[in-house]
Amino acid sequence: MLNILALYSGLLATLWIVAGVILAGKLYPGYNHATQFCSELGAKGSPTENISPLINNYPLGILFCMFGWYVTQLKGAPASVVISGWLIIIHGISTWVAGYSSMDADAYTKTPSFSHKVHSCAGLILFLSLLVAPVLIIFSASPEYISTAFKLFSIVCVLATLYFTYTFFNAINNKTNLGTHQRLSYGAQLIWLSGYSLVLAEGVN
């Protein structure tokens, strides 16, 4: 039962974060998903500072780590697949750190607090871990676990992540709809994670 839950936790994490961010946003009066960072839900002094990590970061970290653990335990998997599992675990741990260390209320502050700096570092690791993982899968030589179709799907997700990350930074500079572009960038990564979960589940079945 635990193995099955771990197997599907990649997909479950994606569904969870969509529901969690929507719920936290409803508890934050005036919150705008299009123009505000996701992290502002847990920012210092926000109405959802304490509840957002409980709804999102902490359970999500568990789901990411469970799926990553499942991937590392695949029998006969090549190093690239196993390392991708460890990267997903790192993603989960970084999710906990980002939730524990709140960003400052002013996302554009020129004098960030220590907590804000830790949050930003965790966010960078979050991004890189789920960028490198699909790249490893693209170059993986394991037809038993990774099909050509999934490699092509991974390429599309990586390109989408990079493109929307570019538009995200442009949106930050222009201070326009940065929330939308952040969600698209991270969404591309989570779609890949969901696909990874489903592909491995198909192999089991």
> What's residue 16's pLDDT?
97
Angle at CA 82, nearest 5°, toward 81 and 88? 90
- Residue 180 Cα distances to 23, 71, 133, 159, 171, angstroms: 17, 31, 24, 17, 9
Instruction: Name residue 87's amino acid.
Output: L
> What's residue 103's pLDDT?
95
Distance (Å, rounded) from C-alpha 178 to C-alpha 184? 10
Distance (Å, rounded) from C-alpha 133 to C-alpha 88? 7
For 52-89, write each residue's pLDDT tens digit: 999 999 999 999 999 999 999 999 889 999 999 999 99
Distance (Å, rounded) from C-alpha 99 to C-alpha 139? 32
> What's residue 1's pLDDT?
77
Distance (Å, rounded) from C-alpha 134 to C-alpha 111? 35
| CB-CB contact of 87 with 68 (8 Å) | yes
Q: Name the residue among 155, 147, 187 with its Cα closest to residue 168.
A: 187
Q: What is the pLDDT along the chain (205 residues), one digit of tens a residue?
A: 778 899 999 999 999 999 999 999 999 999 999 999 999 999 999 999 999 999 999 999 999 999 999 999 999 889 999 999 999 999 999 999 999 999 999 988 899 999 999 999 999 999 999 999 999 999 987 777 788 899 999 999 999 999 999 999 999 998 889 999 999 999 999 999 999 999 999 866 5
| pTM score of the predicted model | 0.94
| CB-CB contact of 98 with 39 (8 Å) | yes
Q: Name the residue among 69, 96, 100, 102 with its Cα closest to residue 85.
A: 69
